[in-house]
Amino acid sequence: MNETRFLDRATPPHIATLVLAAGLAAMSMNIFLPSLATMAEHFGTSYAVMQLAVSGYLAGTAVIQIAIGPLSDLFGRRPVMLGGVVLLLLGTVICLLAPNVTVFMIGRILQTGVIAGIVLSRAVVRDMVPMDEAASMIGYVTMGMSVVPMIAPTLGGVLNDLFGWQASFVVLFLAGIFVLLLVWRDLGETNTAQSASFGAQFRSWPQLLRSRRFWGYTLTAMFSSGIFFSFLGGAPFVGSVIFKLSPSTLGLYFFTMAAGYMLGNFLSGRYARRVGIGPMMLSGNVVSLIGIVATFLFLTVDTGHPFAFFGPLSLIGVGNGLTLPSANAGMVSVRPHLAGSASGLGGAITLGGGAALSVLAGSVLTPQTGTLPLLLVMLVTVIFALLSTEYVRWIDRREGAVDDGGRL
């Protein structure tokens, strides 16, 4: 791989470009979360319908990832990532001008194209470096990216209080323009072994689907991130309805989760190569379990203060930051020549499961039930994450780890 030179389309991208492309996708997902209740009132609909802007978006990203990976293996990472950002810009304009909630949701579906920034940042990293180093580099990319979801809900809450919910989408549009120009100038093509045809990519899926390791890594990623998506599905309701928080205050509580995510990714970047991806995945899920159990305990003592809920759950962010870089690196390393397809297919399964858990978490909450149903959903999910991680570690103990070539 050629040496990286910033803003040179003839070389691989700078890590900052991957961070910002992935961060734009994260911003699209969560900048408006503190405004959900306000948006429901604006469009004259229920909170449950408005929450589809989160769960429906996750489902849409799951579907589009099925195409993003094979398209990038066929045509290259660069054109597909550029196209994804353009779709985000078109969708954002529709959301801003939407006269009703149906048109708004159409805009949200178009915005899902920006998930290419996350999917292809993983594939680009795997194009550039071997598996163990990829886990470390993905950790650093995700650490940088996590600054965006750390700031975005806080910014969105403040913008809502000052200018209305539409201001968040104006900021998202401007950020999209910046990232489009940056990717155009800096992202050199890294896929040097492009596929013969789009159909050939789908015909290669059995290689992935027959791999027990691929399923182990993918289910680890799905259930680990599902803990977080459950939080996304229920936390806006918990904050605005149960704890009566303003959008700006709710945004500040989201800051704690994203700060934990950033810390976890920093630790992944620092230690993944040294410790190995199996122990990193296990440690992350254990940390998430501790956070959920601690929240149960805190709420039995003090149910009146929102920090009793949001504070301990910041450990879920740490846990995801520890687990997901290694799970994603393993996922795209099972068959390195299919890195884009593996990232897209694995990401689709991950976000499809996340969308289902987000809907479930949002549907079980009422003012009368309090936070307990959400915490139970998260507890069951982290148990499945631990079982999936242990499955991969069991295969490694029986058959040996994946080598640098990714062969089983």
For 53-90, write each residue's pLDDT tens digit. 887 887 888 788 777 877 887 788 889 999 999 999 99
Superfamily of domain 15-186+206-399: MFS general substrate transporter like domains (1.20.1250.20)
**Which has more pLDDT, 61 or 227?**
227
Do residues 172 and 29 make contact, with C-beta atoms less than 8 angstroms apart? Answer: no
Q: Is 91 exposed, middle or buried (0-12, 13-18, 19+ CB in 10 A)?
A: buried
pLDDT digits (tens, 9 = 90+) for 164-185: 999 999 999 999 999 999 999 9
Query: In the chain, what are the domain boundaries?
Result: 15-186+206-399
Lowest mean pLDDT among 186-200, 233-247, 322-336, 361-375: 186-200
> In which band, very low, low, confident or very high, does the pLDDT at 3 lie, cut at 50, 70 and 90?
low
Sign of CA dihedral 260, 261, 262, 265: positive
Sheet strands (E) in 259-324: none
Would you give the DSSP letter of residue 196? S
Q: What is the pLDDT of residue 406?
A: 41
Instruction: Give the span between the Cα atoms of 103 and 106, in whole angstroms.
Output: 5
DSSP-derived secondary structure for 99-159? SSHHHHHHHHHHHGGGGHHHHHHHHHHHHHS-HHHHHHHHHHHHHHHTHHHHHHHHHHHHH
Instruction: Give the span between the Cα atoms of 347 and 84, in whole angstroms.
Output: 15
The amino acid present at 271, given as its one-letter code, is Y
Instruction: Give the span between the Cα atoms of 21 and 13, in whole angstroms.
Output: 11
* CA proximity to 325, closest of 266, 378, 382: 266
Q: How many other β-carbons are positioned within 10 Å of the β-carbon of residue 78?
A: 21
Instruction: Give the span between the Cα atoms of 335 and 326, in whole angstroms.
Output: 15
pTM of this structure: 0.73
pLDDT digits (tens, 9 = 90+) for 289-325: 999 999 989 888 766 788 888 889 989 989 998 998 8
Do residues 290 and 315 make contact, with C-beta atoms less than 8 angstroms apart? Answer: yes
* CA-only gyration radius of the chain, Å: 20
**Which has more pLDDT, 365 or 303?**
365
The amino acid present at 337, given as its one-letter code, is H
From residue 21, give the alpha-carbon distance in Å to each of 122, 229, 294, 355: 11, 21, 34, 22
Do residues 216 and 333 make contact, with C-beta atoms less than 8 angstroms apart? Answer: no
Roughly what angle, to the nearest 10 degrees, separates helices 131-145 and 116-128? 150
pLDDT of 98 > 90? The answer is: yes
> In which band, very low, low, confident or very high, does the pLDDT at 47 lie, cut at 50, 70 and 90?
confident
Q: Dig out the tokens for 375 from the structure.
A: 């915490």
Query: Per this entry, what is the length of the chain?
Result: 408
Share of the chain above pLDDT 90, in %: 26
